[in-house]
């Protein structure tokens, strides 16, 4: 170490050496990230499944490797054998999930499989806790790679160097596999055009199952290889999954080289980014994704997907509600109006929450169902509504009503802004861009402590005196939420709704008859955002406080689950889904510690038996009965 | 030794929400119910030992006759780490289950949310764990009390040691959320006050639970500090230590580290636990005061495991609540609040009290150095830092906390 001058400042900061080492550190992270993302992108390319459980497979890889390596004899064979064994075991677990669960629902509406894999995530979380206990586990270091070597006079861990090598080797092997084997050729063909491959007589089932096995092995390997550098813990699944998705999408869905490039980009940007902006860690990957998707709508190396042949098949048209449904709805409304005066305060709180979530789910349904766009970041508008109301109360001294009126405008304004970018994209790219914007909004709420109070939130957002009673507040929430939900329903039946559905079923034909598909989608997105904002504003005053968690990923996922559980293709779907999901979770959390296991299992069972969602299944049953007569 | 499966089943069986001590002979009146909300599924490593000790303390109170003949009963709820869920559950406990008071909280924002709920609904909330200073200062209220030594107090304990070190160039690394940011802010402020010539040459704020340890360590090393203040914990700490020791970050540098001496965070490091770090923590195996020995033995008998810091927090929370309840005829909120203000109670660490001025307890923490013994991390040269010595003067506290 060289020092100079009385001030103690270093004369030679060894700047270049440090930068080289920083770049190497970035490479090691990129390599780890690529391993996980490669499996995800392979699976998505062929099966189009948004596999939420990929992070769980990664975590299981790490845990199984820990168990194997600590139980096998020490040395090279024990360690590397344990790592490979864990990867293969995870592959088998993936195989079981595919055969027992996913294979049965490939024909379900798009994204429905997401619901199933989320059920698996919940189940694995509790099973891992039961099997390995709550404490973080530390695996042994890799034999032969324990120490470090000197690079430019600075120390660098051998194992990181090894990891830097693993990424390209795995990439090379995968490329060989996909380009030099018949199986690989079929997989690539299926990635480009699934239906055509099927039409040519290829056994799709085997192909899907084997691809899922390969993807799971890669996830398991990614987890197992973290053993010498990271502790094994119960948060590994969710901490990796978002980043893995980002890598896959930034690279271009289904593109291995793209995933490698994206992992490299994110790894290096992160390594150098923290030198300049230490606090950028929360949001960096999502900033990268937002920029890449805005500039390149199909990721770095992705190609526009060939129009799926199924696109010609329009979704079933939506007619007026049949009589029994009207009666059931009327009865439910009567119950919602008449029973609460006899309910206790807590029941009123839960009912208020349910009313809010019904609107939240219905607003997401507007873009997912009639709009035909997915959103992974709908919580942003819920949260922006909540923050709009709370910030108005805190900084402007606005009354509750003022805040509630402001909420949809704030959310709608941001919907207008973010939506302009999001609705130009299609499918999962569009959904991931909504996620990117949601995460950017979340990190602003999280880090702008002076304005939003950071993660400690805004407290004291309680209703005005006249609405402080739980019953009054319930009726207020019910009136606003039910009114907005019915308005959304009305909009779907209005000309605007027809236009929305027309562009979903065929952009080309819709534009041919003079519908501006982009503008319709954009307005639909904004409308949904504003409706979510109403729900968010009510939520803020219902809870008395607002935290960044109101716009966190988990809140967006909740909304997705509600819509999918209820059924995307029916108008009552989001209502039924919100009732079922909120009610189930509220009850389970109170009854058992293992609520994640139970909830996950219930979701999996529902997915298997009602692949069109609860309301969808009810409609099918009704139609079948009435079709017979 | 029970195998872990049996232990876990027993834990789950007893923890299955309502826990009444069934074998209580002497406490027979109508139970006094405590509503306890915590992030059980989100933070199991800290909270399972916490709940174990809570159940132990409750059994002890009830076996000794309860509160004026009435047994304590606790309803545990899982907020899954979401403050809005915690608020809903607080409503459930207060309105549907008619609990006398609320307790719990691990995450700071959950603690603040319940505290605000308590204030709005005029219910007592005895926060056990959340460390944020806002809970008793900026957002403090009449109905909220907190047991554990806060971020400020623990930072102040470490500043006292850091100021003695012959170093000037400091770097900091902390998780990117309120706890990490506050700890760094207090550390900088207090250390600069104690030693005006210190310099802070680098800071890193990795995302909580997602540290990119290699890059973070390299970035700190590039600034070449003489000493590092670390606030990371849990999985982040493990990864930071692994990368740091392989890359030689800790060599010839002094490390001052919050919470690292707690068994929750030191034990997972096994034989890679760093040596010579100045830390706050809990040397559970070496404290042989009568109070602590009795607690440790009872905990071992009941759960066949050694206590963690979470266990101390859970145990002391129940004992403090019981002490308060014994002072008043009936668990009525205003009487409970009055009794909590200035309440002296016997902590496992020694006598402590809930200060009337800001509702913060004076329970302290242990400050010492980390060392390796028999392949395990432990604390040496430790001393008990009594919380009352690490709080700002009263006139400063009054400016920090809303008055009236």
Q: pLDDT in tens for each of the 404 residues of chain B?
A: 334 433 443 444 444 444 444 444 455 689 999 999 999 988 888 899 999 999 999 999 999 999 999 999 999 999 988 999 999 999 999 999 999 999 999 988 999 999 999 999 999 999 999 999 999 999 999 999 999 999 999 999 999 999 999 999 999 999 998 899 999 999 999 999 999 999 999 999 999 888 999 999 999 999 999 999 999 998 999 999 999 999 999 999 999 999 999 999 999 999 999 999 999 999 999 999 999 999 999 999 999 999 999 999 999 999 999 999 999 999 999 999 999 999 999 999 999 999 999 999 999 999 999 999 999 999 999 999 999 999 999 999 999 998 76
CB distance B215–A22 less than 8 Å? yes
Specify whether the backbone of A427 is left (phi greater than 0), alpha (psi in -120 to 50) or beta: left
Out of B8, B109, B221, closest to residue A455 by CB:
B109
CB contact at 8 A, A582 and B84: no
- The full 3-state SS of A325-351, as one line of letters, equals HHHHHHHHHHHHHHCHHHCCHHHHHHH
Q: Output the pLDDT for position A264.
A: 96
Task: Provide the token pair at A530.
Answer: 């504003």
Q: Which domains does chain B have, with CATH numbers?
A: 4-149+290-363 (3.40.50.2300), 152-286+366-400 (3.40.50.2300)
- The answer to whether residues B172 and B154 touch, using CB atoms and an 8 Å cutoff, is no
A145 burial via Cβ count (<10 Å: 0-12, 13-18, 19+): middle
Cα separation of B345 and B342, whole Å? 10
Tokens, residue A553 = 């990923």
Q: Are B90 and A338 in contact (CB under 8 A)?
A: no
Q: Among A217, A234, A251, where does a domain finish?
A: A234
The verdict on B203 touching A (C-beta cutoff 8 Å) is: yes
Q: Does B18 touch chain A (CB under 8 A)?
A: no
Residue of B nearest to A21 (CA): B218
SS3 A492: helix
Residues A444 and B54: their CA atoms lie apart, in Å, by 38
Positions of chain A with pLDDT lower than 50, given as ranges: 1-12, 307-312, 628-629
In this prediction, residue A305 carries a pLDDT of: 64
Q: Which residues in A lie closer than 8 A to residue B242 (C-beta atoms)? A: 229-230
Whether residue A277 is contained in a domain is answered as no
Q: Which of A195, A217, A234 is the last residue of a domain?
A: A234
CA separation for the pair B33, B58 (Å, rounded)? 11
Position A536 in a domain: yes
Residue A312, in any domain of the structure: no
Give the DSSP letter string of B239-286. HHHHHHHHTTTTTT-EEEEEEEESHHHHGGGGGG--SS-EEEE--TTT
CB A459 within 8 A of CB B116: yes
- CB contact under 8 Å between B212 and A29, yes or no, is yes
Enclosing domain of residue A552? 345-628
Half-sphere exposure of B133 (CA within 13 A, CB side): 24
Same domain, yes or no: A356 and A488: yes
Q: Rounded to a whole number, what is the distance in Å from the CA of B366 to chain A's nearest CA? A: 22
Which residues have CB under 8 Å from A330's CB, separation 6+?
A: none
Which residues, 6 or more positions from B168, have their beta carbon under 8 angstroms from its beta carbon?
A8, B197, B198, B199, B226
Same domain, A229 and A355: no
Rounded Cα distance, B230 and B174, in Å: 6
Question: For position A314, what pLDDT does the model report?
Answer: 60
In 3D, which of A315, A319, A359, A352 has the Cα closest to residue A528? A359
The nearest alpha carbon in chain B to A453 belongs to B178
In this complex, which of B139, B212, B218 lies closest to A459 when CB atoms are compared? B139
Domains held by chain A: number: 2
| Predicted local confidence at residue A201, as pLDDT | 87
Write the CA distances from A201 to A48, A99, A190, B131, B264, integer angstroms. Answer: 20, 20, 12, 63, 57
- What's residue A306's pLDDT? 54
pLDDT at B16: 42
**Which ipTM was obtained for this model?**
0.88
Give the whole-angstrom CA distance, residue A521 versus residue A479.
Answer: 27
- Is B78:B11 a contact under the CB 8 Å cutoff? no
Q: Which of A157, A271, A455 is nearest residue B246 as measured by Cβ atoms?
A: A157
| CB < 8 Å to A454, chain B | 177-178, 181
Surface-to-core class of residue B47, CB atoms within 10 Å of its CB (0-12 exposed, 13-18 middle, 19+ buried) = buried
User: Where among A177, A208, A234 does a domain terminate?
Assistant: A234
Is A569 within a domain? yes
Chain A residue numbers touching B120 (CB-CB < 8 A):
460, 462, 544
Same domain as A443, residue A573: yes
Residues in chain A with CB shorter than 8 Å from the CB of B9 are none
Give me the pLDDT at residue A280, please.
Answer: 84
Q: Count the residues in chain A.
A: 629
* Token pair in block for residue B260: 């690292």
- Closest of A55, A94, A116, A114 to residue A217, by C-alpha: A94
* A120 located within any domain: yes
CATH of the domain at A426: 1.10.3470
Q: Closest by alpha carbon to A356, among A545, A539, A112, A113?
A: A539
Whether residue A339 is contained in a domain is answered as: no
Asked if residues B100 and B81 have their Cβ atoms less than 8 Å apart, the reply is no
Q: Quick check: B243 and A130 CB within 8 A? A: no
Nearest CB to B84; choose among A22, A231, A549: A549
Q: Which residues share a beta bridge with B33? A: B73
* B-chain residues near A344 (CB < 8 A): 95-96
Is residue A302 in some structural domain?
A: no
Closest residue to B270, CB basis, from A25, A138, A594: A138
Is residue A4 assigned to a domain? no
Chain B 101-160, CB below 8 Å of chain A: which residues? 108-109, 112-113, 115-117, 120, 132, 134, 139
């Amino acid at each position: 170490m060289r020092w100079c001058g009385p001030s103690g400042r270093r004369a030679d900061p060894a700047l270049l050496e440090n930068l080289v080492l920083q770049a190497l550190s970035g490479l090691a992270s990129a390599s780890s990230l690529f391993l996980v993302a490669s499996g995800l992108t392979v699976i998505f390319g062929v099966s189009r499944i948004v596999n939420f459980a990929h992070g769980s497979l990664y975590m299981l890889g790490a845990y199984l490797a820990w168990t194997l390596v600590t139980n096998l004899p020490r040395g090279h064979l024990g360690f590397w054998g344990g790592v490979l064994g864990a990867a293969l075991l995870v592959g088998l677990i993936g195989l079981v999930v595919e055969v027992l669960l996913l294979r049965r629902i490939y024909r379900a509406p798009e994204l429905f499989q997401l619901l199933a894999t989320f059920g698996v995530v919940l189940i694995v979380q509790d099973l891992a806790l039961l099997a390995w206990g709550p404490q973080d586990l530390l695996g042994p270091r890799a034999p032969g790679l324990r120490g470090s070597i000197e690079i430019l006079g600075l120390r660098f861990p051998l194992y990181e160097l090894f990891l830097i090598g693993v990424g390209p080797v795995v990439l090379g092997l995968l490329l060989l596999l996909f380009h030099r084997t018949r199986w690989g050729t079929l997989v690539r063909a299926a990635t480009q055009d699934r239906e055509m491959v099927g039409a040519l007589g290829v056994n799709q089932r085997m192909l899907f199952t084997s691809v899922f096995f390969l993807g799971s092995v890669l996830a398991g390997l990614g987890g197992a290889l973290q053993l010498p550098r990271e502790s094994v813990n119960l948060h590994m699944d969710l901490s990796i999954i978002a980043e893995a998705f980002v890598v896959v999408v930034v690279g271009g869905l289904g593109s291995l080289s793209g995933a490698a490039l994206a992992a490299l980009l994110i790894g290096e940007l992160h390594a150098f980014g923290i030198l300049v902006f230490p606090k950028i860690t929360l949001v960096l990957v999502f900033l990268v994704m937002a920029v890449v998707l805005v500039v390149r709508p199909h990721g770095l190396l992705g190609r526009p997907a060939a129009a799926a042949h199924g696109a010609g098949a329009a979704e079933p048209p939506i007619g007026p509600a049949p009589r029994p449904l009207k009666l059931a709805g009327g009865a439910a409304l009567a119950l919602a109006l008449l029973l609460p005066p006899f309910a206790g305060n807590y029941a009123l709180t839960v009912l208020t929450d349910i009313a809010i979530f019904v609107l939240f789910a219905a607003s997401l349904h507007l873009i997912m169902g009639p709009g035909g766009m997915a959103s992974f970041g709908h919580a942003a508008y819920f949260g922006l509504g909540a923050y709009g109301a709370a910030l108005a109360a805190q900084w402007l001294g606005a009354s509750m009503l003022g805040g509630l009126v402001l909420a949809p405008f704030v959310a709608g304004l941001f919907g207008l802004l973010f939506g302009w970018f999001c609705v130009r994209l299609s499918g999962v790219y569009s959904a991931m861009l909504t996620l990117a914007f949601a995460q950017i909004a979340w990190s602003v709420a999280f880090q702008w402590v002076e304005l939003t109070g950071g993660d400690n939130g805004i407290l004291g957002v309680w209703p005005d005196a006249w609405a402080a009673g739980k019953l009054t507040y319930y009726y207020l929430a019910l009136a606003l939420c039910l009114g907005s939900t019915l308005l959304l329903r009305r909009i779907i039946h209005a000309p605007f709704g027809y236009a929305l559905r027309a562009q979903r079923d065929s952009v080309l034909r819709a534009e041919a008859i003079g519908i501006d598909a982009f503008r319709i989608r954009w307005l639909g997105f904004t409308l949904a955002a504003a409706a979510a904002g109403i729900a968010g504003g009510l939520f803020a005053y219902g809870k008395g406080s607002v935290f960044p968690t109101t716009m966190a990923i988990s809140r967006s996922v909740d909304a997705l689950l509600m819509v999918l559980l209820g059924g995307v293709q029916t108008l009552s779907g989001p209502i039924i889904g919100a009732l079922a999901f909120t009610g189930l979770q509220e009850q389970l959390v109170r009854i058992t510690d293992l609520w994640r296991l139970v909830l996950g299992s219930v979701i999996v069972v529902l997915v298997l038996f009602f692949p069109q969602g609860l309301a969808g299944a009810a409609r099918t049953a009704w139609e079948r009965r009435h079709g017979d007569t | 030794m029970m195998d872990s499966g049996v232990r876990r089943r027993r834990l789950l069986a007893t923890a299955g929400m309502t826990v009444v001590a069934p074998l209580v002979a002497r406490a027979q009146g109508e139970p006094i119910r405590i509503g306890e909300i915590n992030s059980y599924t989100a933070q199991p490593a800290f909270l399972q030992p916490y709940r174990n000790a809570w159940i132990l303390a409750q059994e002890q109170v009830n076996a000794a006759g309860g509160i004026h003949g009435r047994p304590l009963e606790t309803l545990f709820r899982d907020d899954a780490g979401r403050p809005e869920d915690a608020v809903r559950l607080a409503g459930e406990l207060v309105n549907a289950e008619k609990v006398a008071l609320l307790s719990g909280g691990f995450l700071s924002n959950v603690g603040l949310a319940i505290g605000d709920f308590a204030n709005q609904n005029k219910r007592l909330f005895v926060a056990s764990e959340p460390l944020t200073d806002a809970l008793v200062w900026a957002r403090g209220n009449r109905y909220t009390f907190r047991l554990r030594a806060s971020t400020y107090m623990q930072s102040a304990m470490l500043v006292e040691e850091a100021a003695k070190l012959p170093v000037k160039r400091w770097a900091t690394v902390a998780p990117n959320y309120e706890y990490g940011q506050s700890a760094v802010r207090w550390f900088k402020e207090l250390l600069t006050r104690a030693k005006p010539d210190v310099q802070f040459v680098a800071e890193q704020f990795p995302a909580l639970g997602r540290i990119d340890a290699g890059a973070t360590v390299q970035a700190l090393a590039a600034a070449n500090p003489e000493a590092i203040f670390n606030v990371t914990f849990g999985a982040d700490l493990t990864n930071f230590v692994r990368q740091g020791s392989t890359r030689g970050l800790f060599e010839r540098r002094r490390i001052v580290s919050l919470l690292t001496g707690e068994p929750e965070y030191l034990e997972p490091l096994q034989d890679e636990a760093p040596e010579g770090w100045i830390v706050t923590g809990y040397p559970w195996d070496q404290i042989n005061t009568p109070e602590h020995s009795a607690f440790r033995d009872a905990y071992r008998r009941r759960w066949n495991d050694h206590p963690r810091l979470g266990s101390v927090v859970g145990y002391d929370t129940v004992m403090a609540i019981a002490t308060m309840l014994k002072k008043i005829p009936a668990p009525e909120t205003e009487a409970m609040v009055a009794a909590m203000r200035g309440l002296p109670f016997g902590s496992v660490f020694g006598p402590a009290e809930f200060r009337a001025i800001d509702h913060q307890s004076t329970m302290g923490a242990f400050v010492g150095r980390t060392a390796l013994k028999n392949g395990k991390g432990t604390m040496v040269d430790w001393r008990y830092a009594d919380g009352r010595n690490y709080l700002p003067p009263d006139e400063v506290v009054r400016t920090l906390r809303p008055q009236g």
